[in-house]
Structure 1
Amino acid sequence: MSARFRFLLAVSLISVTSVVLAQDIPANMPRRKAGLWEMQTTGMGGRQQTMKLCLDADTDQAMYKMGTQMSGQKCSKFNIDVKGNSVVSDAVCKVDGPNGPMSITSHSETQFDGDSSYHTEGHVSYDPAPAGMGQMAVSSTGRWVGPCAAGQKPGDMIMSNGQTMNIKDMHP
């Protein structure tokens, strides 16, 4: 996996799914239904990106654990508040950007509709600003679309460009 791709994926994870990166995952965190999830994200450059993820309970937990490792190493602040099906998170994290260290400050609010869909609205600030983009509004919608396809295993993620990888193989 290229360094640029790893950087963009890390920024996407922090920007959109900071819920996953909480250091202490609340016991009342909403759970996602096992199967194939389609996630649409708008933010980076205003373009919409769509990816699919084959998910089971173990993969959901592995993503939380991966996020815990990332946040513990990279984030100086991580607050998460769960009230029913609503999750609000705030983070200040440092990542290795293409031109050196970068601080990312994010705020996101996620509303779950049971275990089969969610919608996130967020705001992200970057310092220094990569490519002159210091702030970005981000929205993400995820929905369960059915069982994973034949031949897919939990953790398989199909990116919008058709590239497939398994999120369990990633190391923070």
Structure 2
Amino acid sequence: MRRLLLVSCLAVGALALLSASGAVAVELPVRKAGLWEMKVVSTGSPSSEMTMQQCTDETTDKGMSTAMSPLAKEICSKQDIQKTATGYVTDSVCGVAGITVKSRAEITGDFNSAYTVKSTSQSEGGMAGAARDNSSTIEAKWLGACKADQKPGDIIMPGGMKMNIKDMEKLKALIPKK
């Protein structure tokens, strides 16, 4: 059950990244290099709160959108990012394994010390077939330099599990073709 929850969180995380990373006219700013703590609070999902850390640098942050773009083009029929007076707004429609996710996110902050992402999504399809609404808030803050045993792209999940965002490209092979 715990593994299923982790896989679900990673899948939702991947879709969230995809919604903000496609080839669009407006690009999100690159985060300050170093260690970022991200607290995710969700409603409508099995895991209501999760805190993780990510070590990043300019190349990794830029690379995330480059690596995810081809995947996003395959699974997302809509990806829009608009600059607003207070930050950015993203709208997307993506589908994986018979599940369609429509999402909207409002992003504020300076990407140097802190930023916030407030998102809502509606999903349809899948094994249960029922529509589900979800809302989440990501509060990210810069902690300082990455730790000595970390490299850019490392994500430290709750419980200490470590993975690297650069391995996300490997997930592409697991997503069924339309």
Secondary structure, counterpart of 2:65 in structure 1? helix
User: What is the aligned length?
Assistant: 165
Q: What is the alpha-carbon distance in structure 1 between the residues aligned to residue 22 and residue 49 of structure 2?
A: 25
2:41 aligned partner, one-letter code: T
Q: CA deviation at 1:80?
A: 0.6
Where does structure 2 lack aligned partners over 5 or more consecutive residues? 173-178
Q: What is the alpha-carbon distance in structure 2 between the residues aligned to residue 108 and residue 130 of structure 1?
A: 26
Partner of 2:175: none
- Quick check: 1:22 aligned with 2:22? yes
Q: What is the alpha-carbon distance in structure 2 between the residues aligned to residue 46 and residue 53 of structure 1?
A: 19
Q: CA deviation at 1:3?
A: 8.2
Partner of 2:55: 54
Q: What is the alpha-carbon distance in structure 2 between the residues aligned to residue 95 and residue 149 of structure 1?
A: 35
**TM-score for both structures, normalised by structure 2:** 0.81
Q: CA deviation at 1:113?
A: 2.7
Q: What is the alpha-carbon distance in structure 2 between the residues aligned to residue 48 and residue 4 of structure 1?
A: 12
The 3 A distance-change label for structure 1 pair 31 and 85 is: farther
Partner of 1:68: 69
1:52 aligned partner, one-letter code: Q
The 3 A distance-change label for structure 1 pair 25 and 49 is: farther
2:124 aligned partner, one-letter code: D
Q: Is the 8 A contact 2:30 2:62 kept in 1?
A: no
Query: Is the deviation greater in 72-81 or in 46-55?
Result: 46-55
Partner of 2:165: 167
The 3 A distance-change label for structure 1 pair 16 and 169 is: closer
- 1:12-161 aligned within 5 A: 12-15=13-16, 18-19=19-20, 21-24=21-24, 26=26, 29-43=28-42, 44-45=45-46, 47-83=48-84, 86-96=87-97, 101-128=98-125, 134-161=132-159
- CA shift digits 1:53-89 (9 cap, x unpaired): 0000011011111221221010001111123661100
C-alpha RMSD over aligned residues? 2.4
Secondary structure, counterpart of 1:77 in structure 2? strand
Where does structure 1 lack aligned partners over 5 or more consecutive residues? none
Q: CA deviation at 1:125?
A: 0.4
